[in-house]
Amino acid sequence: MSRILKKTIAAAMSILLVVSAVSCKKESLGLFMPQKKIDKIYVKSNSGNVLKQEWSWNNGLLMKIDHYMSNGKVMDYTEEFTYNGSRIVSVSARDERLDYYYEGEKLSRIEYSLKNAYKETYELVYGKSAVDKILITVEESGSKPDKRLLAPLWDDGLNACIADIAAKTDSKGVQRGEIRLRWDGGNVVRADMVRNTGSTASSDPTITFNYTYDKQKNPFGNLLSFNIDNMFDRTAVNGGFEANNIMSAYRTVFNDDLNSYQTESWTYEYEYKSKYPVSVKEVHTDHRGRSSKGEELVISYH
């Protein structure tokens, strides 16, 4: 399986975080109108807080996010949002673009494109009250950047360690994948990435995620964009699209070479104010049991 599809399915794993925030209110997808609006996000350091992002709003709508380089002083690039009324229809950053398509008020499809050449399509398949599946199509008609800026939700952290997934490429160079979701109320508690072979899929998942959540409000809930630098850019989850904040994520991968399963985890510790997180710490434990700390992020609000 190509590296492109592996990276793409990594991005799609986080689409479940978009759809879960409003699983019982499908018409709300694309409406990002939080009660508390983010002003800035910082990385905490020994010398003080270093600016990571600055969010700009107009009449209650998020218009852009300015992303800063590691020194917190020089702007790297801007992520810009376009609306139809109050509903997000596109997000762009440099040569990358996300487009969101609706059937009535229900989100049906997300497309990622690079210079109008390389394209990924994410089709949301609904059950009675929630998204049951995410069908992924990759068209390799152009090259993809080594480090993308945008994903339909999240793309970065899984890429270094994601296992091979069997996939079939048809005569037109199209690759396909599938993710199946399991729900508990309004949150996804399990996501299975399954093997696709042509039009059929194996019943055995190749990658499985299990999630737990807190009871507090998520300031990113229902935002239909995920920039890989927004929050947990080196982890298996982003936490940016749930009604609540992710407390833990456990990823189990079937290693074909070893013919066995390997598990790693991510856990998060928050500080809250008025039921919203104002800081978050991350700990990653790999499949050998070795733990490492990620960035500590600080969030300020308007």
Per the CB < 8 A criterion, the answer to whether 158 and 13 are in contact is yes
Strands 96-103 and 106-114: antiparallel
CATH of the domain at 283: 2.40.160.150
Q: How many residues does the chain have?
A: 302
Half-sphere exposure in the Cβ direction for 113 (13 Å, CA)? 11
> In this model, does residue 189 exceed pLDDT 90?
no
146: its two tokens: 């080594």
The total of other beta-carbon atoms located within 10 Å of residue 203's CB is 9
How much is the pLDDT for 24?
39
3-state SS, residue 22: coil
Tens-place pLDDT, residues 56-112: 999 999 999 999 999 999 999 999 999 999 988 999 988 888 898 999 888 888 888
Per-chain mean pLDDT for the chain: 74
* CA gyration radius, the chain: 18
Q: What distances in angstroms separate CA 128 from CA 84, 162, 186, 191, 195, one per listed residue?
A: 27, 31, 13, 18, 25
What range defines the domain where residue 69 resides? 3-301
How many domains does the chain divide into?
Answer: 1
How much is the pLDDT for 29?
65
Query: Average pLDDT for residues 9-38, to the nearest whole number?
Result: 59
Task: Indicate the pLDDT class of residue 196, thresholds 50, 70 and 90.
Answer: low
How much is the pLDDT for 128?
79
Q: What distances in angstroms separate CA 71 from CA 50, 56, 126, 147, one per listed residue?
A: 7, 20, 43, 19
What percent of the chain is modeled with pLDDT above 70? 66
3-state SS, residue 1: coil
Tens-place pLDDT, residues 273-293: 999 999 999 898 998 999 999
Query: Average pLDDT for residues 244-261, to the nearest whole number?
Result: 79
Instruction: Estimate to the nearest angstrom the gap between the alpha carbon of 83 and the chain centroid.
Output: 20
Query: What CA–CA distance (Å, rounded) separates 118 from 39?
Result: 33
How much is the pLDDT for 238?
41
Most confident of 85-89, 187-191, 224-228: 85-89
> In this model, does residue 206 exceed pLDDT 80?
no
Amino acid found at 38: I
Q: What distances in angstroms separate CA 222 from CA 209, 219, 256, one per listed residue?
A: 20, 9, 36
Handedness of CA 280, 286, 289, 295 (dihedral sign): negative
